[in-house]
Chain A
Amino acid sequence: MSVKLGVPSKGRLMEKTFDWFGQLGITLTRTGSDREYAGAVDGISGVSLVLLSAGEVPRELAAGRLHFGVTGTDLVQEKLPLWEQQVEPLAELGFGHADLVLAVPKAWVDVDTLDDLDAVATAFRAAHGMRLRIATKYHRLVREHLRHAGVADYALVDSQGATEGTVANETAEMIADITSSGETLRANHLKVLEDAPILRSQATLWRSRVAEVSDADRTVAAALIAQLTD
């Protein structure tokens, strides 16, 4: 057995994660060919690197197949009910910043807040005989946020990509999505509601609360935590 550390396998998220660990004296590298998802860890022994999609990290942490993992707050909170009981955030990595926001067409001059959205959703249902559709892939987070705010007359439609385009394509009236600069939203003639975002997310290092650890692993895990969070 060894302590398993899960890290996003692709792109800028992987590079920045590697940089962050590097600055703390732990060198992560991909081994083998470009297409092979294998990696190595230097600077601490007993830790093995698992490269996987950021979206799978929450599930693997909750299943105990990873002891540590790097992924966004948004993905952990969307995918893991009672996430506090399954994983513990150890460090915010300072990149991958993104807010989960509600956005409506800019032309909706009468909608600035959730208050407005509630009134408009009810009027929309009366006028169109259907509930106002919100395209998103964050079903749980959006539903809980709107329940808390007391907005009821809406329907969630699933959108796993190009969510900003759903309004122009008339498969949804508005969206809930992750945004960092808001540029894609603006380019698609959408504006963010003025209320606080549903969630502020960034890349975060998590510890699984459920993964089994041998005595040897426990020592390694403690050393890893000490090195990364001091």
Chain B
Amino acid sequence: MITPAETLARAAQLRATFEAAGAMPVETPILQPAETLLDLYGEEIRARAYVTTDALRGEQMLRPDFTVPVVEMHMAHGAEPARYTYSGEVFRRQEHDPDRANEFVQVGYEVFDRANPAAADAEVFALFAQAVAPLNLRAATGDIGILMAAVRGLNTSDARKAALLRHIWRPRRFRALLERYSGRLDVSARRAKLLDGTLDCDGPLIGKRTQTEIDARVARLRADAAEPPLSDAEVDLLDALLNVRETVPYALAQLRDIAVDLPSIGAAVDGLAARADALSTRGVDVDALPFEASFGRTSMEYYDGFVFGFFSAQRADLPAVATGGRYDALTRRLGNGAEIPAVGGVLRPGLMLDLEAQA
């Protein structure tokens, strides 16, 4: 059994490694204003984070991760470029799996640097790969930015692209939208009546949503109905893209093929190639490194570029030992107009010790 003291000692070691790599150690409060996290993640965060309250400050959450407070701190008064490291406990409410920890230690490393995104991605990945190297973990990498670029390049309305982008991280809804936009779903009789203006409504308007808002949505629905369906060819290309699952060199070759018909992903694929070079320079064996275009779509909501994770191959039941990625959009959301490219990741020293003890 690993003791808390052992976990903290390992956390301190890891943090020292990150400091040696140039990061400044930072602390963040355990209690976070609930409103920020709710704004960012929506009501779902309540299923993942513990909420507490007092009469003065209202709802507070026990930090479910460090990324948000560290980004806020940097956006408020950070120098540029900046590298931070931290270690401490995070708290995760568990409603389904009694074997998952609801409180564990994380050690993180975050880079805020405009100069060279590929190099910053590689720097973070290589540091984490080194830290977990003795554990022989399975690495996974992906790039949400390629999928986002593909959606932006679709031959369809801005409203449809915006809806698809909003649901990049919710594959089920993303799929439902694609089916609707490609004309594969039937329009209900009621919806058809609404669109042609023959629907009667007998209810008085109650609540805060105004008639103007309803009329505007009906207008949007009509505009959308007039929009030609997404072509099968485009949907097939998106599917082909989502199915890319190869080592990095082969994934690059496949993506370049797809980019011939989907030129909008060209720059993002070039970015992947630049990252592969930067990883090579850092000593990562890129030829053996897996790349999955769909990786990071379900659980890593704020990542919008490079994503990575390290998993135990023997203990598939365990959560990731390390995860990370690029989150430029998050800095925009939290920065009140300011933004800065950012990439980082977290490690779980407790899991590392567990795996070492079993080895």
Q: Report A's interface with B, CB cutoff 8 A.
A: 81-82, 105-110, 112, 115, 118-120, 122-124, 127-128, 131-132, 139-140, 143-144, 146-156, 167-168, 170, 172-174, 188-189, 191, 194
- On chain A, the residues within 8 Å of B204 by CB distance are 107, 189
- On chain A, the residues within 8 Å of B173 by CB distance are 118, 149-151
CB of B206 within 8 A of CB of A168, answer yes
CB of A107 within 8 A of CB of B214, answer yes
Additional 9 contacts, C-beta under 8 A, given A110-B218, A147-B44, A155-B38: A106-B203, A107-B206, A107-B211, A108-B214, A109-B194, A109-B199, A119-B217, A147-B47, A154-B43
CB of B217 within 8 A of CB of A120, answer yes
The docked-state distance in angstroms from the alpha carbon of A167 to that of B206 is 6
Given the known interface contacts A82-B96, A143-B46, A144-B47, the answer about A107 and B213 at a Cβ–Cβ threshold of 8 Å is: no
Which residue of B is nearest A168, CB measured?
A: B206
Q: How far is the CB of A182 from chain B (nearest CB, A)?
A: 14
Which one of B62-70, B163-171, B269-277 is at the A interface?
Answer: B163-171
Greatest chain B CB density within 10 A among A110, A127, A149 is at A110
Number of A-B contacts (CB under 8 A): 102
- On chain B, the residues within 8 Å of A109 by CB distance are 194, 199, 201, 214, 218
CB of A110 within 8 A of CB of B44, answer no
Q: How far is the CB of B39 from chain A (nearest CB, A)?
A: 8
- Tell which of B43, B190, B203 touches A146, judged by Cβ atoms closer than 8 Å: B43
- Tell which of A107, A132, A140, A156 touches B205, judged by Cβ atoms closer than 8 Å: A107
CB of A167 within 8 A of CB of B96, answer no
The docked-state distance in angstroms from the alpha carbon of A156 to that of B47 is 12
- Tell which of A122, A123, A140, A173 touches B95, judged by Cβ atoms closer than 8 Å: A140
Give residues 164-220 of B contacting A (CB, 8 Å).
Answer: 166-167, 170, 172-174, 176, 180, 188, 190-191, 194, 199, 201-209, 211, 213-214, 216-218
CB of A110 within 8 A of CB of B221, answer yes
- On chain A, the residues within 8 Å of B167 by CB distance are 150
- On chain A, the residues within 8 Å of B170 by CB distance are 150, 152
Indicate with 1 or 0, residue by residue over B77-113, a CB within 8 angstroms of chain A CB atoms. 0000000000000000001101000000000000000
The docked-state distance in angstroms from the alpha carbon of A115 to that of B174 is 11
Greatest chain B CB density within 10 A among A147, A149, A150 is at A150
The docked-state distance in angstroms from the alpha carbon of A194 to that of B194 is 15
B337 at the interface (CB under 8 A from A): no
The docked-state distance in angstroms from the alpha carbon of A108 to that of B203 is 9
